[in-house]
């Protein structure tokens, strides 16, 4: 599943990089929790929670049914 998550994150990455940020995969747990770290401009952005839940999590859950949620670490 980790490879699938990386492939989806690679689709999201250009949008984040356009705003000076990025996303780094930290871990994928056996129970479907994806742990990521937002970096660059995303790390301190007040909109990062919205980006995480409405952007990254929504896309991952839609494309990979095994993913239950995404957490920032």
Distance CA(55)–CA(19), nearest Å, equals 14
CA distances from 59 to 5, 30, 38, 55 (A): 10, 19, 16, 6
One DSSP character per residue, 41-57 reads TTTT-TTHHHIIIIIII
CATH class assigned to 2-72: alpha beta
pTM, to two decimals: 0.91
pLDDT digits (tens, 9 = 90+) for 31-42: 999 999 999 999
Q: Which residues of the chain fall below pLDDT 50? A: none
């Amino acid at each position: 599943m980790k490879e699938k998550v990386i492939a989806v994150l690679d689709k999201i990455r250009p949008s984040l990089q356009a705003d000076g940020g990025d996303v780094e995969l930290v871990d994928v747990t056996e129970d479907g929790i994806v742990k990521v770290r937002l970096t660059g401009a995303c790390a301190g952005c007040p909109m990062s929670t919205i980006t995480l839940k409405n952007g990254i999590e929504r896309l991952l859950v839609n494309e990979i049914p095994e993913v239950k949620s995404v957490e920032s670490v």
